[in-house]
Amino acid sequence: MEISQNFDGGNISVIECERPSNIQLEIRKDQNSNFYQWFYFRLCGAKARNCRLSIVNANSAAYPEGFRNYRILYSYDRKEWLRHDTKLEGSTLRIEITPTRDSIYFAYFIPYSMERHYDLIAGALNYLHCSSELLGKTLDGQDLDLLSFSMGDKTTKQNCWIIARQHPGETMAEWFMEGFIEKLLDMDDLLTKKILSNCNMYLIPNMNPDGSRRGHLRTNAAGRNLNREWETPSIQFSPEVFFVKEKMNKTGVNFMLDVHGDETLPYCFIAGTEGLKNWNARKQSELDFFKNRLAEVNPDFQTENGYPAKQPGQANMAMSTTQIASMHDCLAMTLEMPFKDTTATPDKKYGWSAQRSKTLSHSCLQVMEEFISKKISGIDV
* Residues 6 or more apart whose Cβ sits within 8 Å of residue 168: 38, 206, 208, 210, 211, 212, 214, 216, 217, 218, 219, 220
- Contact code string over 154-183 relative to Zn ion, x by CB under 5 A: -------------x--x-------------
Q: Which of 165, 260, 293, 340 binds Zn ion (CB under 5 A)?
A: 260
Find the Cα–Cα–Cα–Cα dihedral 109, 40, 321, 192, rounded to 10°.
-60
Nearest to 256 by CA among 205, 202, 298, 317: 202
> How many CB atoms within 10 Å of residue 362?
17
Supply the minimum distance, in Å, between the C-beta of residue 286 and Zn ion. 23
- Does residue 291 touch Zn ion according to CB under 5 A? no
* Residues 6 or more apart whose Cβ sits within 8 Å of residue 187: 127, 129, 193
Give yes or no: 18 in active site. no
Supply the minimum distance, in Å, between the C-beta of residue 352 and Zn ion. 14
Supply the minimum distance, in Å, between the C-beta of residue 363 and Zn ion. 20
Supply the minimum distance, in Å, between the C-beta of residue 164 and Zn ion. 10
Q: Which of the residues 178, 240, 336, 369 is marked catalytic?
A: 336
Supply the minimum distance, in Å, between the C-beta of residue 263 and Zn ion. 9
By beta-carbon proximity to Zn ion, the closer residue of 260 and 375 is 260
Rounded Cα gap, residues 60 and 66, in angstroms: 11
Supply the minimum distance, in Å, between the C-beta of residue 167 and Zn ion. 4
List residues binding Zn ion (CB under 5 A). Answer: 167, 170, 260
List the catalytic residues.
Answer: 336
